[in-house]
Amino acid sequence: MTTTSGVTSTAPTISTGNAQDISGLMAGNVSLSLAEAVTVKVQPYLDQATAVQTNINANQTKIAAYQNMQSLLQALETSVSNLSSQAVQGSNAFDSRVANLSSASNVPGGTPSAPNAILSASVAAGTNTGSHTVTVNALAAAESDVSATQSVSSTTAISNLPAFSGFSSGSFSIAEQGKTAVSINVTSSMSLTDVAGAINGATAQTGVTASVISIDASHSVLVVSGADSDTPLQFTDTSGVLAGLGVVGTTLTGTAKETSQTTALGLSGSFSVNGGPAVNVTSTMTLNDIAAAIGSQASVVTNADGTYSLQISSGGSSPVSFSGVTGTALSGLGFAASGAADQVTAPQAANLTVDGVAGITRTSNTISDLLNGVTLNLSAADPNTSVTMNIAPDTTGVTNAVQSFVTAYNNWQAFVNQNEATNSDGTAAAGATLFGDSTLREANLQVSSSITSEINNYTLADLGITLDSNNNLQVDSTTLSQQLSTNFSSVLGLFQSQASTDNYALQPLGIDYSTYAGNFSLGIASSGGVITLSGAAASSFSVSGNSISGNYGTPYFGMAFTWSGGDTAGTTVNVTATQGLANQVYQSADGYGNAISGSVQSLISNLQTQDLSLTNQYNTLVNQANDYSNFLLQQYSQMASQMQAAGQTSTVLQAMFAMQTGGGHV
């Protein structure tokens, strides 16, 4: 016996089980065949179930075809969304921007550095196109100082160093300017690696990190670095630990070497030494002048190569320190503002010249607040090279978006061709599940009408995109590239909706996201900055300040303008709006293919509802056939038992009769 709770692909059947066909137990013309009873009484139910199942299978085939149609329309919608101004998904390829870089030498006859070696740039969508020149005079940098080379390994106790003979314990503090100084405790048993670890343990508060470089098995160097650019470090060394390591010193010699002690250095700025009075340096001062201004703590020394440098001493056991540093005087003399003995990198801001404006500084090498929509990533400084940055539409991105659209359209067209295919006698081909389907025909008509549109005297054919004999789009990449390079605005106007006016005082605000195409007029009057509208279209727009926007629920929704005409007693402005090819395709594909509100989804839902009803019918018919079969099995089993009993009784009676007629006794 078969029980069916759902629809299967094979015809329903009924089993007769072990019931006995009792037709052979009867003589004469009476037939009690179980097989015949099942065929006559039960099979009609099964035949009806088979017919219902055929309808369900046909619906399932059609649902699968509609789902494929829906999927292809959604893919078309997704692809064209990158070319449409109305789309709420994807990204507008026409808004994408790239920064094309080139470089030139600022020195006549000089060789410029490669632009990509100096900077890179990212540009936000919709940024105004144009060119800018950038010269990177200096990169932003954080301070980095090194100790003197120590004659110990990175893991040997500092007590082995002569400067720490007899040293037991002590402390120092170190921090970036403006951050919290933390006391770092040091014992004689600690190694340079231990000291670096102690500094790193306070990095969150101080902004300072440390590391150890092993020169060889018995020499190493401590490196101390700040985290932030253009921020000097500050040291306090009451126990002489940093001085003993050579990070700071009681006597410092400037790294700048001058050929004369009496020539004006051209430096300017001020600083104080060890908290003393400010030393003001002017451009006419010489090395001797500056040493004299500092006082007894400074002197001019002669280097081994015959040049001269400024030397500053603290005059005691405390290391040299500087404060109140302004200008470039101190750094020009070769001293670190922090008082570090050997500064590898001075803290400084990025310094740029942009579009001829010099002296622009930033504290980071990633700069996003200089040019609207542009983020500069500085990688090298070269005052002798200017980088020209041409901000332009991303034509490669548009090309890729167009290619994606063409692929999606051709996939759609292949589906249409399959479902319109006929045999030689004009009947639908085997794979044409939706042959003659009105929804498929209407959707294809709308999409085909859109891609053959002429908008502003421009068509896809002008881009090198044409239809072949199978209605597939073919792309001439050379023509497309040429048009994007030389006629970008026309390409944009073909794909995207646009609005224009005949009065410069009323200008479109941003992209036209509306579905409107055609012409209308707006009467505009303004008094004291308050704008009032008149005319047939006036009720479809709202005013906010000097902005005029289409109201929700009207064809103008998504269209906006700004009024700059000031007060006027009244003027009429004519507006012309075109609906771009991409917008048209997007709307058509969404109208039919939308998974919630699309017309194809309605067809799918209706068929699925039908199938639920048909499945109930199918199960009811099979259950009735099963019930009838069970009834017949029960009845025929009872009849078989009765006939067998009757047969046994007949045999006994016949035997008794024979005995009586033969003279025997029973």
Nearest CA to 230 out of 296, 194, 177 is that of 177
The model's pLDDT over 606-617, given as tens digits with 9 standing for 90+, comes to 999 999 999 999
Nearest CA to 385 out of 116, 121, 100 is that of 116
Burial call 171-199: b when 16+ CB within 10 Å, e when fewer: ebbbbbbebebbebebebebbbbbbbebb
The mean pLDDT of the chain is 89
Asked whether residue 494 carries a pLDDT value surpassing 60, the answer given is yes
Q: Where residue 538 falls among pLDDT bands split at 50, 70, 90?
A: very high
Q: Which has the higher per-residue pLDDT, 513 or 489?
A: 489
Q: Where residue 108 falls among pLDDT bands split at 50, 70, 90?
A: very high
Whole-number Å distance between alpha carbons of 575 and 586: 24
Strand 530-534: give its sheet, edge to edge.
Answer: 498-501, 568-578, 518-527, 530-534
The model's pLDDT over 404-456, given as tens digits with 9 standing for 90+, comes to 999 999 999 999 999 999 999 999 999 999 999 999 999 999 999 999 999 98
The model's pLDDT over 458-473, given as tens digits with 9 standing for 90+, comes to 999 999 999 999 999 9
Asked whether residue 30 carries a pLDDT value surpassing 80, the answer given is no
Q: Are 248 and 340 in contact (CB under 8 A)?
A: yes
Lowest mean pLDDT among 6-15, 109-118, 224-233, 364-373: 6-15
What is 420-438 written as a DSSP string? T-B-TTSSBPTT-TTTT-H
Q: Where residue 32 falls among pLDDT bands split at 50, 70, 90?
A: very low
The confidence score (pLDDT) of residue 3 equals 37
Return left, alpha or beta for 188; rule: phi > 0 is left, psi -120 to 50 is alpha, else beta: alpha
The confidence score (pLDDT) of residue 664 equals 47
The confidence score (pLDDT) of residue 44 equals 85
Q: Where residue 14 falls among pLDDT bands split at 50, 70, 90?
A: low
CB count within 10 Å of CB 393 equals: 20
Return left, alpha or beta for 360; rule: phi > 0 is left, psi -120 to 50 is alpha, else beta: beta
Whole-number Å distance between alpha carbons of 656 and 280: 153
Whole-number Å distance between alpha carbons of 213 and 88: 55
Burial call 310-345: b when 16+ CB within 10 Å, e when fewer: bbbbbeeeebbbbeebeeebbbbbbbbbbbbbbbeb
What mean pLDDT comes out for the span 55-76?
A: 95
Q: Where residue 18 falls among pLDDT bands split at 50, 70, 90?
A: very low
What mean pLDDT comes out for the span 536-554?
A: 95
The model's pLDDT over 116-135, given as tens digits with 9 standing for 90+, comes to 999 999 999 889 999 999 99
Across the strands, what pairs with 561? 508, 548
Q: Are 578 and 454 in contact (CB under 8 A)?
A: no
The confidence score (pLDDT) of residue 665 equals 46
Q: Are 212 and 136 in contact (CB under 8 A)?
A: no
Torsion 198-203-205-208 (CA) sign: positive
Q: Are 581 and 508 in contact (CB under 8 A)?
A: no
Nearest CA to 343 out of 457, 193, 235 is that of 235
What mean pLDDT comes out for the span 371-396?
A: 96
Across the strands, what pairs with 519? 576
Q: Which has the higher per-residue pLDDT, 399 or 622?
A: 399
The model's pLDDT over 148-165, given as tens digits with 9 standing for 90+, comes to 999 999 999 999 999 999
The model's pLDDT over 342-360, given as tens digits with 9 standing for 90+, comes to 999 999 999 999 999 999 9
Lowest mean pLDDT among 50-64, 269-283, 306-320, 625-639: 625-639
The confidence score (pLDDT) of residue 376 equals 97
The confidence score (pLDDT) of residue 45 equals 84
Q: How far is CA 62 from the centre of its chain?
A: 37
Phi, psi (deg, nearest 5) at residue 187: -115, 165
Roughly what angle, to the nearest 10 degrees, separates helices 581-593 and 395-419? 50
Q: How far is CA 392 from the centre of its chain?
A: 21
Q: Which helix (H) or strand (E) holds 548?
A: strand 547-550
